[in-house]
């Protein structure tokens, strides 16, 4: 059980770092999709000894949404907006990776100091969840394209999901479904917004949306 | 307990009301239908409030639960919703006639509006802290598209900022919710409020504190507390007036309501040291001062009102932080602010339509150009600034009193400074708008009877609340305050 969880955690770290170094938006979407699939399978690994139907259902739903539906929706938005690359991000790719590694070190340190009562999870989970949240936030603030910010939001959400699945354990099914539905609607609405931004401005560079101040 | 079905009805009715919206062709009929659904919802809500009044609380199944605190907010929510829904036909009349508000636009507007009503009802009705979060996030997503009704680049920008900042903010609140659940590991139903509230003494205090920080920043973003308020003036100024009224009148308070739910838990778990209250005081004072700084130099009337919301939500947070009388005043202030601010946005919206701009230097002589909306805006702003004898004056006075009683000298000094700056700053702008000679524009359309009632009724209520507090309302607020203030 813990071997499975730990390999999933390693995959999460790798996908995070890859995302920080990629410029092609299409590849970014794929990396986040892979991360979503890994996360969707995480509840199966965490409850490998007693697989209740609700866990299988939840895992199936998460994999379907995060691994296939979201990427499909985002790729569509990408086609409509007609953008290929994240051109000149606010923080360059090499520097992003360096910051990412530093962030991982920091998460390991914080994770070792923070104790969650009664958590039976492998020790790697907490720092990796924190790291994923940090990477999500960093992508949101350091990239110009609206689409990349949506990816950042998804990565942030993934980090919280990892935290919840392994550290909190029993979350009622209703809440899990509600959260999943919310994320789905979030991506849907953000996709619509990207469509309108690309039509209105001929680009989806968020840093040029700066007419409203004061 | 027999009235428990009412809670299901309250949650299901707006959702059921969405379906006909999608079929109706005429925008005017669609807005009329929305009004019917909202008024019926208000009747259902008053039945729930009455049941809570008699029984103290109402429960249906494991997840739906209403106590005095949620019943009070339910009342405020329905006042705001009814006012702004009934106002929508008059606001959109011109857009419908000119064809800008298409049947599809109206369908989308009505469906999202009722969706937002359902989501906010879910926030108030859920006993489960996770579902409460789901409701808050749903309100963000459903109302985002409402900002983009007037299809301008600026409203698109506002919508994107709102969507992203609030989604990320509310995601932090989710982290906080998870940490609270982690703190209650080992207790049963670690996400059910009533259970967590009872078992608060057994929670791990440090994890809970960390969780509360996340919750405060997360829900605080949605409530527009400084320094997380950056989305607020943009969204409020670009949304159509009924939506701005809804945002300011209730959506912000709904987020603050979520924070209120956690205060007694954290206080009980940390042994009543006032740790969470001090944090709320800090954010409250910061919001008042930041709002003051921006109000002085503001030119856009809707942005001015938006910053005034940052101020008022700050006052409510400060009131909760001060406790005792402050807590009572904070809830009373929520009601007063909802009455005044919703109407202020509606009046400003109509004036803006008349002048074709929201720039206050170009909106002169509103009182002559459009007496009803001009006078409405003037009285609303006066009331919101805390002028006697309106309700806001009483609630602000009580908060000052609470600060004196708590011997919080610095808080008191900063609060009074902030209020004085805002009073002078805002009044200077609004007097310019209301008096003076109007530019040569065609006379405004004579307001219909519904519009007159919509303006006069909230103002009369504010005036009455300033002069006389009905016993029933006093008891309702006292019981709601007791939920936050730590009655076990």
User: d(Cα B189, Cα B196) in Å, to the nearest integer?
Assistant: 8
Q: Quick count: other Cβ atoms within 10 Å of Cβ B446?
A: 9
Percent of chain B with pLDDT over 90: 75
Closest CA to B211 of B255, B276, B120, B272: B276
Answer whether B178 sits within 8 Å of A163, measured CB to CB: yes
Predicted confidence band of residue B25 (pLDDT cuts 50, 70, 90): confident
A186 near B CB under 8 A: yes
What average pLDDT does the structure give for chain B? 92
pLDDT tens digits, A62-77: 999 999 999 999 998 8
Name the residue among B73, B26, B143, B14 with its Cα closest to residue B484. B73
Q: Would the CB atoms of A163 and B141 count as touching at under 8 Å?
A: no
Residue of B nearest to A196 (CA): B156
Return the residue of A nearest to B132 by Cα.
A175
Q: Which two tokens stand for residue B287?
A: 């919001």
Strand partners, B185: B187
Determine contact, residues B294/B273, Cβ cutoff 8 Å.
no
Q: Measure in Å the smallest separation between the Cα of B306 and chain A Cα atoms.
A: 11
- Show the low-confidence residues of chain A (pLDDT under 70): 1, 117-120, 166-167, 169-170
Across B382-387, average pLDDT: 94
The 10s digit of each residue's pLDDT in B259-281 is 999 999 999 998 888 899 999 99
| B239 close contact with A: CB closer than 8 A | no
Please determine, for residue B247, whether its predicted confidence score (pLDDT) is greater than 90. Answer: yes
Q: Where are the alpha helices (DSSP H) in A87-165?
A: 93-113, 125-142, 146-163
Q: Is A206 on the interface with B (CB under 8 A)?
A: yes
Q: What is the percent of chain B with per-residue pLDDT over 70, rounded to a whole number?
A: 98
Q: Is residue B487 pLDDT above 80, yes or no?
A: no
Question: In chain B, which residues have their Cβ closer than 8 Å to the Cβ of A119?
Answer: 182, 185
Q: What pLDDT is recorded for position A51?
A: 78
User: Is the preceding omega at residue B227 within 30 degrees of 0, hence cis?
Assistant: yes
State residue B298 phi and psi, 5-degree precision: -90, 140
Q: Across the interface, do B133 and A214 touch by the CB < 8 Å criterion?
A: no
B466-480 pLDDT, tens per residue? Answer: 999 999 999 999 999
pLDDT single digits (tens) B433-451: 888 787 776 666 788 888 9
Give A181's contacts in chain B (Cβ within 8 Å): 134
Residue B81 has pLDDT above 50, yes or no: yes
Is the pLDDT score of B28 beyond 80? yes
- For residue A126, give how far its alpha carbon lies from the nearest alpha carbon of chain B (Å): 12
A167 vs B: CB within 8 A:
yes
Out of A154-158, A161-165, B124-128, B149-153, least confident range: A161-165
Tell whether A90 lies on the interface with B, counting CB pairs under 8 A: no
Q: Is A3 on the interface with B (CB under 8 A)?
A: no
| B415 has a pLDDT exceeding 90 | yes
Mean pLDDT of B297-323: 95
Task: Note the pLDDT of residue A120.
Answer: 63
Chain A hits for B214, Cβ within 8 Å: none
Q: For B185, which of A118, A160, A190 is closest by C-beta distance?
A: A118
- From chain B residues 5-24, the ones with a CB under 8 A of any chain A CB are none
Whether A145 has its CB under 8 Å from any CB of chain B: the answer is no
* Residue B317 in this model has a pLDDT that exceeds 60: yes
Pick from B145, B156, B233: which is nearest to A197 by CB? B156
The pLDDT assigned to B488 comes to 47
């Amino acid at each position: 059980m813990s071997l499975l969880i730990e390999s999933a955690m390693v995959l999460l770290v790798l996908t995070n770092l890859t995302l920080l170094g990629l410029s092609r938006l299409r590849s970014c979407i794929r990396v986040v999709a892979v991360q979503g699939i890994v996360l969707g399978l995480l509840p199966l690994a965490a409850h490998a000894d007693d697989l209740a139907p609700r866990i299988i259902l939840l895992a199936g739903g998460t994999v379907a949404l995060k691994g296939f539906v979201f990427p499909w929706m985002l790729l569509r938005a990408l086609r409509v907006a007609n953008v290929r690359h994240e051109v000149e991000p606010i923080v360059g790719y090499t520097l992003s990776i360096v910051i990412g590694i530093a962030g991982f070190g920091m998460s390991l340190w914080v994770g070792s100091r923070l104790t969650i009562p009664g958590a039976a999870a492998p020790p790697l989970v907490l720092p990796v969840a924190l790291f994923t949240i940090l990477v999500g936030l960093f992508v949101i603030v350091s990239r110009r394209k609206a689409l990349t910010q949506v990816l950042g939001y998804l990565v942030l959400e993934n980090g919280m999901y990892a935290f919840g699945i392994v550290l909190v354990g029993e979350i009622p099914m209703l809440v899990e479904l509600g959260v999943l539905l919310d994320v789905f609607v979030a991506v849907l609405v953000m996709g619509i917004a990207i469509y309108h931004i690309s039509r209105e401005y001929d680009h989806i560079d968020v840093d040029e949306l700066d007419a409203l101040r004061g | 307990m027999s009235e428990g079905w009412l809670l299901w009805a309250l949650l299901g009715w707006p959702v059921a009301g969405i379906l006909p919206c999608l079929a109706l062709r005429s925008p005017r009929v669609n807005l009329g239908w929305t009004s019917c659904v909202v008024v019926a919802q208000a009747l259902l809500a008053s039945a729930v409030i009455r049941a809570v009044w008699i029984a103290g609380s109402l429960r249906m199944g494991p997840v739906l639960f209403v106590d005095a605190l949620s019943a009070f907010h339910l009342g405020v929510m329905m006042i705001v919703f009814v006012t702004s829904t009934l106002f929508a036909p008059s606001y959109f009349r011109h857009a419908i006639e000119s064809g800008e508000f298409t049947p599809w636009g109206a369908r989308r507007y009505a469906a999202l509006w009722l969706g937002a009503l359902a989501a906010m009802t879910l926030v108030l009705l859920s006993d489960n802290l996770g579902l409460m979060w789901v409701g808050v996030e749903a309100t963000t997503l459903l109302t985002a598209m409402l900002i983009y009704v007037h299809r301008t680049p600026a409203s698109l920008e506002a919508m994107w900022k709102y969507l992203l900042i609030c989604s990320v903010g509310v995601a932090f609140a989710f982290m906080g919710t998870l940490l609270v659940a982690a703190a209650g590991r080992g207790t049963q139903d670690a996400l059910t409020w009533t259970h967590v509230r009872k078992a608060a003494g057994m929670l791990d205090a440090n994890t809970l504190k960390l969780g509360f920080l996340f919750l405060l920043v997360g829900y605080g973003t949605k409530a527009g507390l400084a320094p997380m308020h950056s989305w607020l003036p943009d969204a409020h100024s670009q949304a159509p007036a009924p939506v701005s009224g809804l945002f300011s009148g209730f959506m912000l308070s709904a987020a603050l309501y979520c924070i209120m739910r956690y205060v007694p838990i954290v206080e009980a778990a940390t042994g009543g040291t006032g740790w969470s209250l001090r944090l709320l005081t800090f954010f409250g004072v910061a919001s008042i001062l930041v709002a003051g700084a921006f109000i002085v130099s503001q030119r856009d009337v809707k942005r001015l009102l938006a910053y005034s919301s940052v101020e008022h939500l700050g006052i409510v947070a400060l009131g909760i932080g001060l406790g005792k009388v402050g807590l009572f005043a904070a809830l009373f202030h929520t009601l007063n602010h909802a009455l005044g601010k919703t109407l202020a946005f509606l009046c400003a919206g109509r004036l803006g339509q008349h002048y074709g701009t929201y720039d206050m230097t170009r909106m002169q002589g509103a009182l002559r150009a459009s007496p009803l909306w001009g006078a409405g805006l003037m009285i609303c702003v006066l009331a919101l600034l805390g002028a006697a004898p309106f309700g806001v004056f009483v609630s602000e006075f009580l908060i000052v009193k609470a600060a004196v009683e708590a011997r919080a000298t610095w808080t008191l000094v900063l609060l009074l400074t902030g209020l004085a700056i805002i009073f002078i700053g805002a009044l200077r702008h609004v007097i310019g708008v209301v008096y003076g000679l109007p530019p040569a524009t065609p006379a405004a359309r004579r307001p219909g009877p519904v519009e007159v009632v919509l303006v006069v009724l909230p103002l009369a209520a504010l005036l009455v609340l300033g002069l006389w507090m009905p016993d029933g309302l006093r008891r309702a607020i006292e019981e709601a305050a007791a939920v936050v203030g730590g009655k076990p």
